[in-house]
Chain A
Amino acid sequence: MSEDFTPGVSAEFNIDTVENASTTPDTELPWAELGLKSDEYDRIVQILGRRPTAAELAMYSVMWSEHCSYKSSKVHLRQFGEKVTEEMKKDLMVGIGENAGVTDLGDGWAVTFKIESHNHPSYVEPYQGAATGIGGIVRDIISMGARPVGVMDPLRFGAIDHPDTQRVLPGVVSGIGGYGNSLGLPNVGGEVVFDEVYQQNPLVNALAVGVMRHEDIRLANASGVGNKVVLFGARTGGDGIGGASVLASESFDSSKPSKRPAVQVGDPFSEKVLIECCLELFGDELVEGIQDLGAAGISCATSELASNGEGGMHVELTDVLLRDPTLTPGEILMSESQERMMAVVTPENQERFEQVMAKWGVEYSWLGEVTDTGRLIIEWDGETIVDVDPRTVAHDGPVYERPYRRPSWQDDLQADSFRASEAGKDLPATAEELGNAVVDLMTSPNMADVSWITDQYDRFVGGNTALSQPDDSGVIRVDEETGLGVALATDCNARYAYLDPYTGAQLALAEAYRNVSTTGAVPVAVSDCLNFGSPEDPEIMWQFAEAVRGLADGCQELGIPVTGGNVSLYNQTAGRAIHPTPVVGVMGTFDDVGRRTPSGYERWADGQAIYLLGTTGDELDGSEFARGRGHLGGTPPQVDLATEKTLGEILINASRDGMIDAAHDLSEGGLAAGLAEMSLRFGVGARVALDGVCERDGVDAFSALFSESQSRAIVALPRSEEIRFTDMTSARGFAAIRVGVVDVQSGELEVAGPFEGGSFTLPLDELKEAWSSVIPSRFGTSASVAEQQ
């Protein structure tokens, strides 16, 4: 078998045993260097009734970190559980708390999805950070017993021309492609946002979705006394220990500096083999419980498996297969080496388990067994180095009620509305000005074509992708017989959240909900990835608390539960925090993905009627137009979730009854962006008139085009369906107005309205050329020689 280290090097260090800890109570441990606060360390001593051993300290320090324990966010996140009605839970098979929530899809199918962040690692080493982000979220999905079937990536970078973005973006994109494409998972969507607040703090979030039969659901618990604990997959190296290298010498002799990589390197080939190997284990019912190894590695896997099961586990740590023999026990416990899993197997199944490992060429080692002692005992060559109640490690970490307060500047910010500002003067009013403004909008970095990025991801593999970028959501077929499937969308407008975190979180939810229903799917579940600055800053903590409250209230009103998620704090550099960025993912279900609605007019749709659904107000604060003029102030668009729900019902029914052939939600960039995107989708022209909207809603043509009022969508339908469709909207009291017609031959987007000049025309080939060259012109030639394959 392979040895990744130089033979002949042997490990030599003093082992700090439990016995040793009892007899040397005064030994100073480097708890502060490991990120623990003095009261946290005192609590560990209190729990144990003695000082911790070095290995115990390692475990507590990583498991009680913000990342693993959610100690700052827990008190707020509880709302996701508290604000859930019985009705919302009816399709929920596994709720928050497991690796990922599981939702019933019908016909015996279940689906699980989750978003996670890998922000900081992606800043340090963009390729590997983004790659291992995909790897981690995919293992979360596998450990629920599911076959992963797709991924999505909400990405946020600094200003498009900033050198930091030039370095980070190409690496992140090729890392996502390099890892995800090698796993055979279609990448079906996501987001790309440029904003200077993300300079040196890029947000690299990753969503994965998996499906399984009901009976295949697996949980992370170690049940059955006497069952065996096995670690399999890649070997354990020093990956991700980095700053914790104070443990390199367990005698705490600082004169021996140790070199431990802070960067984890991903091996997508090993992960792909691990996926297939795990699915075979599940299919043959060879594992009782399973847990992926991510942050906090073996510390997390052993303590969580034990505390969720019979309560006890006995492990011999020298049986862990190592890539680097100089690792100390503490480092082995903390290592974040990728592509590893831990499972619980009955003694009867051990041999068959080994056969599956042999078939796939996966290394494994039996580490110990499940006990009912209530203790997690870890030995090193027969000597006890950890003796803890696993619950105190995994679940009883510190919980902080961090102080929070509304920022002193929030009122001034909200008072600075766009219309009243300098930036809001001299707005486009004539045909020429409005036409140019639409082109400027569509060629701004945030509205530009992202296919330079998404074309680096495989969207076809699996043969079940029914929709992907640039459509409103990614749609994946689950059952080939019936067409049963899921739709997924992630959204967040952090500018809105900055203006008002409560409303901003609801707007993110509303947009993702709308994107899913626009394609025709019924929204059923939410996963979130809450990216914020430092929780130790009361003003940031207020943003967090408000966003969580807004999201929890919003989910309750829409009647869809949060099934899982992730919190990423401390996203700030040199005292400057990112905008609050609560990324919300919504999953919807299809009885048949064949009826999904595309986001543009197709070539055969000539003469179809174009309708605008919803009403338009003068809502430009936080808008893309305002961003173009360098303005951010005022209050975000109003959110009305009841209206959002009605719009969703209309779009879903219209898809189900085959009334509409195209639909696109309106969000960033308003109607202008919506109309342009629908025409650009398949290069099909349209003629549109704004007069009716302006008159009905009392807005000028500028607002009609650029306002970002919510709960709106554009649809295209055959004339034969118009009566049936408008009957449906009026029965629900929902505003619907015919604004135009599809004109395939013209190759132009023509917009008429109550403005000087009467109408403007945008040739689609010119618009497409400009729109699609924005990103390649910045990144097209960048290819770092040192970039990994």
Chain B
Amino acid sequence: MPRIIVEVMPKPEILDPQGKAIVNALPHLGFEEFSAVRQGKRFDLTVDGEVTEEILEQARKAAAEMLSNPVIEDVVDVRVEDQR
């Protein structure tokens, strides 16, 4: 079944409390090389059948209107992934 992958990230200018807490904790475990962490969300939308441009457009719409909160989040990617 092909899947449409939607990735949502907090807008760059918006505070990401989770990412902030994680980046502060990493050095405690010896991971010193990471200066910033931002945590986003990934959605897998499974499609029964072929992904047409129409369906992809639907996914983009769903991503913009429902899967993300446009006030604080950006949809950074909507792509098709074939799982064979």
State which residues 32-84 of B face A: CB under 8 Å.
Answer: 35-36, 43, 66-69, 71-73
Residue A323 at the B interface, CB < 8 A?
yes
For A250-264 the 0/1 string (1 means CB < 8 A from B) is: 000000000111010
Please state if A238 and B36 are interface contacts (CB–CB under 8 Å). no
Closest Cβ–Cβ distance, residue B64 to chain A (whole Å): 10
- 23 pairs, CB–CB < 8 Å, chain A vs chain B: A2-B35, A4-B15, A7-B35, A125-B69, A238-B13, A239-B14, A263-B14, A263-B72, A265-B14, A267-B15, A268-B17, A269-B17, A337-B15, A784-B66, A784-B69, A785-B67, A786-B67, A786-B68, A786-B69, A787-B69, A788-B69, A788-B72, A789-B18
Q: A2 CA to B24 CA in the complex, in Å?
A: 7
Interface residues of B (CB under 8 A from A): 8, 10-21, 23-24, 35-36, 43, 66-69, 71-73
| Residues of A contacting B35 in the complex (Cβ-Cβ under 8 angstroms) | 2-3, 7
Please state if A237 and B69 are interface contacts (CB–CB under 8 Å). no
The 9 closest A-B pairs by CB, nearest first: A267-B17, A786-B69, A265-B15, A2-B23, A125-B71, A261-B13, A3-B35, A238-B13, A263-B71
Q: A469 CA to B21 CA in the complex, in Å?
A: 34
Q: Which of A268, A270, A786 contacts B73 (CB 8 A)?
A: A786
Residue A324 at the B interface, CB < 8 A?
yes
Other than the given A4-B16, A128-B71, A265-B16, 14 more pairs (CB < 8 A) read A2-B35, A5-B36, A7-B35, A237-B13, A237-B15, A265-B14, A265-B17, A337-B15, A785-B66, A786-B8, A786-B68, A786-B69, A786-B73, A788-B69
Please state if B21 and A269 are interface contacts (CB–CB under 8 Å). yes
Closest Cβ–Cβ distance, residue B76 to chain A (whole Å): 14
Please state if B24 and A239 are interface contacts (CB–CB under 8 Å). no
Q: A125 CA to B68 CA in the complex, in Å?
A: 13
Please state if A324 and B67 are interface contacts (CB–CB under 8 Å). no
Given known pairs A3-B35, A263-B72, the reply for A786 and B15 (CB within 8 Å) is no
For A2-22 the 0/1 string (1 means CB < 8 A from B) is: 111111000000000000000
Q: A158 CA to B23 CA in the complex, in Å?
A: 41
With both beta carbons as reference points, the residue of chain B lying nearest to A7 in the complex is identified as B35
| Residues of B contacting A7 in the complex (Cβ-Cβ under 8 angstroms) | 35
Closest Cβ–Cβ distance, residue B80 to chain A (whole Å): 20
With both beta carbons as reference points, the residue of chain A lying nearest to B34 in the complex is identified as A2
Q: A109 CA to B51 CA in the complex, in Å?
A: 68
Q: How many A residues face the partner with a CB closer than 8 A?
A: 34
With both beta carbons as reference points, the residue of chain B lying nearest to A258 in the complex is identified as B13
Q: A497 CA to B30 CA in the complex, in Å?
A: 62
| Residues of A contacting B21 in the complex (Cβ-Cβ under 8 angstroms) | 269
| Interface-centre pick from A2, A5, A259, A361 (highest chain B CB count, 10 A) | A2
Q: A125 CA to B24 CA in the complex, in Å?
A: 28
Q: How many A-B residue pairs have CB under 8 A?
A: 73
Q: Which of A128, A260, A789 contacts B13 (CB 8 A)?
A: A260
Residue A124 at the B interface, CB < 8 A?
yes
| Interface-centre pick from B15, B23, B24 (highest chain A CB count, 10 A) | B15
Please state if B72 and A125 are interface contacts (CB–CB under 8 Å). yes
Q: Which of B36, B43, B68, B71 contacts A4 (CB 8 A)?
A: B36
Please state if A128 and B66 are interface contacts (CB–CB under 8 Å). no
| Interface-centre pick from A261, A268, A269, A338 (highest chain B CB count, 10 A) | A261
Q: A784 CA to B8 CA in the complex, in Å?
A: 15
Q: Which of B19, B23, B67, B72 contacts A261 (CB 8 A)?
A: B72
With both beta carbons as reference points, the residue of chain B lying nearest to A267 in the complex is identified as B17
Closest Cβ–Cβ distance, residue B12 to chain A (whole Å): 8
Q: A785 CA to B21 CA in the complex, in Å?
A: 23
Closest Cβ–Cβ distance, residue B69 to chain A (whole Å): 4
| Residues of B contacting A125 in the complex (Cβ-Cβ under 8 angstroms) | 69, 71-72
| Residues of A contacting B12 in the complex (Cβ-Cβ under 8 angstroms) | 5-6
| Residues of A contacting B73 in the complex (Cβ-Cβ under 8 angstroms) | 786
Residue A234 at the B interface, CB < 8 A?
yes
| Residues of A contacting B15 in the complex (Cβ-Cβ under 8 angstroms) | 4, 234, 237, 239, 265, 267, 323, 337-338
Q: A323 CA to B66 CA in the complex, in Å?
A: 28
| Residues of B contacting A3 in the complex (Cβ-Cβ under 8 angstroms) | 35-36
With both beta carbons as reference points, the residue of chain B lying nearest to A171 in the complex is identified as B69
| Residues of B contacting A266 in the complex (Cβ-Cβ under 8 angstroms) | 17
| Residues of B contacting A268 in the complex (Cβ-Cβ under 8 angstroms) | 17
Please state if A4 and B72 are interface contacts (CB–CB under 8 Å). no
| Residues of A contacting B43 in the complex (Cβ-Cβ under 8 angstroms) | 785
| Residues of A contacting B14 in the complex (Cβ-Cβ under 8 angstroms) | 239, 261, 263, 265
Closest Cβ–Cβ distance, residue B68 to chain A (whole Å): 6
Q: A577 CA to B35 CA in the complex, in Å?
A: 48
| Residues of B contacting A361 in the complex (Cβ-Cβ under 8 angstroms) | 24
| Residues of A contacting B18 in the complex (Cβ-Cβ under 8 angstroms) | 789
State which residues 770-789 of A face B: CB under 8 Å.
Answer: 784-789
State which residues 609-644 of A face B: CB under 8 Å.
Answer: none
State which residues 303-337 of A face B: CB under 8 Å.
Answer: 323-324, 337
Q: A630 CA to B80 CA in the complex, in Å?
A: 53
For A334-350 the 0/1 string (1 means CB < 8 A from B) is: 00011000000000000
| Residues of A contacting B68 in the complex (Cβ-Cβ under 8 angstroms) | 786
